Amino acid sequence: MIAEIGLAALWLAAALAVLQLLGGVLALRGGTTSDIAALTRPAAILQGGLVAVSFAALLYVFAITDLSVKLVAMNSHTLKPLIFKLSGAWGNHEGSMLLWVTVMALAGALIAGIERRLPEKTMQATLAAQGFVALGFYAFLLLSSNPFERLAQPAAEGLGLNPLLQDIGLALHPPTLYFGYVGLSVAFSFAVGALVTKQVTPAFARAMRPWILGAWVFLTLGITAGSYWAYYELGWGGYWFWDPVENASLMPWLAATALLHSASVLASRDALRVWTIMLGVVAFSMSMLGTFLVRSGILTSVHAFAVDPERGSFILFLLALYIGGALLLFALRAGAISEGERFSVASREGALVVNNVMLSAILAVVLLGTLYPLLTEAFDVRVSVGPPYFNPVGAVFTFPMLAVMAVGPLLRWRKDGFGRITKELALVGAVLLSGPILFALLFGMAILPLLGLSFAIALAVASFLPLKGRKLRRVPVETWGMVIAHFGIAVALFGMASESAFSTEKLAALEEGGTTQVGPWSVQLQKVEPVAGPNWTALAGRMTATYRDGEPVEIAPQSRNFWAPPQQTTESVLVTRWNGQLYAVMGSDANDGRWQLRLWWKPFVTLIWYGGLLIALGGVLALVGRVQKDLKRRYVTRRAAERRVDMENG
């Protein structure tokens, strides 16, 4: 029954998306006063409610493990802990697509409900675009991936969830990432709305900015969480593999980061109009491309749940329709959007333009590297593209961007000269140059980590320079946001460079009682013993790890065997100190009474994710600052209007 309610709600929501699209289109043709036009907003809001009901229904059937629902029978199991039953609802193709449309409908409902700053016409066009995009994904879900399909005969027991996904990471990482991915649909719809009405103004950018910021914060958190999850769950010791699925999340982030900065030029200075619109289209296009790559079955990985060519072509069709349509509209209308304000090269805008171009170049590099294996496969040549390509080629554009990032915030808007900030430039330059010399002398390290460490330190210093000479308590919240986000980039970069420069790895086969060394740690294998969990059994290696002469720490990494579905996973153990992490993986038995261990000492590796969190925190602060300012502005306008009325009456 509950499953049928979920399905019915989904169909109704799709019908409302049609209404929303029609209402928006009619409003544009016949003026905003027509009756149907008045329905656009309520349709969007109601749609959000219905999809939420549908998603709740899916959670419910997973919570009670209703085995007559095909999706539950295929992906769940009665013996799983409740949290993994619930998160398992989106640990499969159909469920994750339902999560996608849920986020999309909620975002649509939210803009329909609270966004009142834009001209009504632009708003109608925006909502029509949002309805149109949502409609395609409803069709995809209902026609080819129905999550509520029943089995003729209820299954006796579920097939279970991939053990790699039975982790708290699954509860957090996909929803966060989806809020980011799909949140960008709002920027996309705004861009389409502005193209339709040709109204690209600072007010438009101010209205769009909080939505971009919100999506960007979620995207940042989602990527950070996903990276940490892969790091500890896979047991490979790496935090980023340039896997196509990872790239699929990085590309929207790069586009959204560029969009964020260009929208702020548009909002403050009324420049970069066309470019901002273009990025709005590109950012969500990257989200959809990511969905296509992950969901079409073109790639086989933990993320690709099912290989079904029909689904692949369906998503490809949607992709072509929306991206092609938006780009066509852009090509037709871009010429009609008038030129914005001018600025000189040495100005805040100039720096932001360079930042945007560099981000776009990195995006192009990642995009080409991700698609290249698909292209060559068409010619029957199978290749894979990994760090040897992405790291150096990405670095060519990343380091210039970081240099501009250090200097840009010190420049004034419109027109400035480098002469005014020679002291700051000299400081950043000195740090930047002394770094390589120092590190090269001390450690003799490779070029990329060397540059990484130097830029990280220089950027960390530079990120606080905009606060110089200002009363800290009077610095606006959004400026703090920028400072903290930029500092976060420096922190993350330091972590990455340090991880690749200073990590040590040790593979050893030990008898019980044997000891081995990794970096400053000495690790002794005490005993290997069996452990049982709710749906797995494991071999746990009890070890004591000692950092130099410190207190020994007891750790017990496991090699787990799940029985539904049958699969072996490694449960690594991390020992975190302020200056790095010890990473221990239990292997299997070496057939002669010894046990395999894999150990890493990774200095400052945790900074990678702390950096990610700082970046997201910066985004939150910027969002708070912007919203506060906007509320204040609205309050002042309202008061002024009231006073005018009072004066006229009095």
Binding site for other proteins (CB under 8 A): 159-164, 235, 241, 243-244, 274-275, 298-302, 304, 306, 339, 342-343, 353, 356-358, 360-362, 364-365, 368-369, 372-373, 376, 381-386, 388-389, 392-393, 396-397, 507-509, 565, 567-570, 585, 587-588, 590-592, 594, 596, 598
Q: How far apart are CA 461 and CA 440, in angstroms?
A: 21
- Which residue number, 2 or 302, has a Cβ lying nearer to other proteins? 302
Minimum distance from residue 617 beta carbon to other proteins (Å): 30
Residue closer to other proteins (CB basis): 446 or 475 = 446
- Shorter beta-carbon distance to other proteins: residue 14 or 274: 274
Answer whether 248's CB lies under 8 Å from 293's CB.
yes
Least separation in angstroms between residue 76's CB and other proteins is 12
Nearer to other proteins, 74 or 484 (CB): 74
> Within 10 Å of residue 615's Cβ, how many Cβ atoms?
25
In the complex, minimum distance from the CB of residue 298 to other proteins, in angstroms, rounded to a whole number: 7
The minimum distance between CB 618 and other proteins, in angstroms, equals 26
Q: How far is the CB of 302 from other proteins (least distance, A)?
A: 5
Q: Sheet containing 504-510: give its strands across.
A: 504-510, 595-603, 580-589, 573-577
In this structure, the dihedral spanned by the alpha carbons of residues 481, 483, 486 and 490, taken in order and rounded to 10 degrees, is -130
Write down the least CB distance from residue 3 to other proteins, Å: 23
Compute CA 386 distance to the chain's CA centroid, rounded to the nearest angstrom. 20
| β-bridge mates for residue 518, sequence order | 521
Residue 52 CA to residue 404 CA, distance in Å, equals 43
Shortest approach of other proteins to residue 238 CB, angstroms?
10
Nearest alpha carbon to residue 204 among 273, 262, 118 = 118
User: Is residue 555 a contact partner of residue 638, using CB atoms and an 8 Å limit?
Assistant: no
Q: Which is nearer to other proteins, 232 or 241 (CB)?
A: 241
**Closer to other proteins at the Cβ: 373 or 533?**
373
Query: Strand runs (DSSP E) across 476-612, as ranges?
Result: 504-510, 515-518, 521-532, 536-547, 552-555, 558-563, 566-571, 573-577, 580-589, 595-603
Helix (H, G, I), strand (E, B) or coil at 499: helix
- DSSP per-residue string spanning 313-365: HHHHHHHHHHHHHHHHHHHHHGGGSPP-----SSSHHHHHHHHHHHHHHHHHH
Apex 469 CA angle, 463 and 473, nearest 5 = 85
Distance in Å, CB of 276 to other proteins, minimum: 12
- Residue 73 near residue 65, CB atoms below 8 Å: no
Largest CA distance in the chain: 99
Residue whose CB is less far from other proteins, 360 or 606: 360
Distance, CA of 565 to CA of 612 (rounded, Å) = 34
Closest CB 100 distance from other proteins, rounded Å: 21
d(CA 312, CA 487): 40
Bridge partners (DSSP) of residue 481 are: none
| Closer CB to other proteins, 447 or 590, in the complex | 590
Other Cβ atoms less than 10 A from the Cβ of 41: the count is 22
- DSSP strand pairing (573-577 vs 566-571): unpaired
Residue closer to other proteins by CB (options 321, 531) is 531
Is 510 in contact with 597 (CB distance < 8 Å)? yes
**Token pair for 449:** 């980590």
Q: Work out how close the CB of 364 gets to other proteins at its nearest, in angstroms, rounded to a whole number.
A: 5
Is residue 113 within 8 A of residue 45, CB to CB? The reply is yes
For the CB of residue 273, give the shortest distance to other proteins in the complex, in Å: 10
Distance CA 205, CA 258 (A): 14
Cβ proximity to other proteins: between 124 and 276 the closer is: 276
Provide, rounded to whole angstroms, the least separation between the CB of residue 179 and other proteins. 26
Which residue, 116 or 382, has its beta carbon nearer to other proteins? 382
Give kind and range of the element (H or E) at residue 18.
helix 2-30
Report in angstroms how near the CB of residue 178 gets to other proteins at its nearest: 21
Q: Residues 190, 207: contact at Cβ < 8 Å?
A: yes
